[in-house]
Amino acid sequence: MNSFSETINERVERIRFLKDEKNEFIQDYKPFIASTVEKCVGRYVIYGQDDELSIGLMAFEEAINQFDLGKGSFLSFAQNVIKRRIIDYYRKEKKHQNVSSINSIYPDEYDGENIYDYINTAEQIQVQYFEQEINDLRRIEIMQLKSELEIFDLSFSDIAKSSPKHKGTKQSYMEIVKFIVENKEITNKIRQKKYIPVAEIQMATNLPRKTIERARNYVIAAVLILTGDYYSLREYIDWGV
């Protein structure tokens, strides 16, 4: 059964061998699959009409079957699998088309020149859409984080106000965060009970109680990002841990 605190990564690990739940997950992420395919092909696509979407669906299931937590963010991993399969598809289509037209005229140049052209085209596609993919993924993660923070009665402005201004304070906050993310039991307690166990943290870090209490909002945001499915935000923000 899903828990409100279950991340996408954890859900993928759990449903890999559960056919019905895996199919439900794929249905839930059809908009994500379509968006990824559109970024690869550079145009709007429709389910039931475009072969690229069928390939995207198969690639997404392949990503579920191959994913493990060591691969980082599932969504980022799935995007790469979908992109590779779309490029493979275009390579095969291009080769098939050229066999019936150009190859009969330039048989000796087909393999070398056209593969070189394909590699250049693939690289251009990656360069063109990489920045947009990262921005889109970051926007999705920001909206997801906003929803999680609301469960704790927090907003982004609350986090900004509680951010440490001095090096020493930041170091203390990071010590708290590091202790929490390295202790799964405490991480789960924060997610489930919506509070920071000040006494346990104080005992482990020897930091003043007031410092821990003042750090609450900032620490909650850091813990959510560092232990959740926020691959892009984790890479973008320097948490110092």
How crowded is the C-beta side of 35, counted as CA atoms within 13 Å?
Answer: 15
> Per residue in 162-194, pLDDT tens?
888 888 998 999 999 999 988 989 998 898 888
Distances (CA, A) of 105 to 61, 97, 98: 40, 13, 10
SS3 per-residue string spanning 25-48: HHHHCHHHHHHHHHHHHCCCCCCC
Cα–Cα–Cα angle for 143, 149, 153, rounded to 5 degrees:
135
Residues 6+ apart with CB under 8 A from 199: none
Closest CA to 52 of 14, 90, 107, 9: 90
Q: What is the mean pLDDT of residues 36-55?
A: 86
pLDDT of residue 40: 79
Task: Give the residue-averaged pLDDT of 37-60.
Answer: 88
Amino acid 56: pLDDT: 93
Q: Where are the domains of the chain?
A: 8-151, 156-236
- How far is the C-alpha of 53 from the C-alpha of 45, rounded, in Å? 7
Q: Cα-atom radius of gyration of the chain, to the nearest Å?
A: 23
CA-based nearest residue to 199, from 189, 239, 191, 233: 189
Residues 34-43: what's their mean pLDDT? 84
CA distances from 117 to 95, 109, 112, 127, 149 (A): 11, 12, 9, 15, 48
Q: Can you tell me the mean pLDDT for 210-226? A: 92
Give the residue, 55 or 139, on which the prediction is more confident: 55
Are the C-beta atoms of residues 64 and 16 closer than 8 Å to each other? yes
In order of 39, 100, 114, 150, the CA distances from 93 in angstroms are 19, 11, 12, 48
List the end-to-end C-alpha distance of the chain, in Å, as a whole number.
32
Distance, CA of 81 to CA of 75 (rounded, Å): 10
Record the pTM.
Answer: 0.50
Please name the residue ranges forming H helices in the chain: 8-15, 19-28, 30-41, 51-66, 74-100, 115-151, 156-162, 167-181, 184-193, 198-205, 209-214, 216-227, 231-236
pLDDT of 45 over the 70 cut: yes
What pLDDT, on a 0 to 100 scale, did the predictor assign at position 101?
33
Percent of the chain with pLDDT over 90: 28
Question: Which of the four pLDDT bands, split at 50, 70 and 90, describes residue 1?
Answer: very low
Rounded to an integer, the average pLDDT of 121-146 is: 65
Phi, psi of 88 (to 5 degrees): -60, -40
The pLDDT-based confidence of 206 (bands split at 50, 70, 90) is: very high
Sign of CA dihedral 184, 190, 193, 197: positive
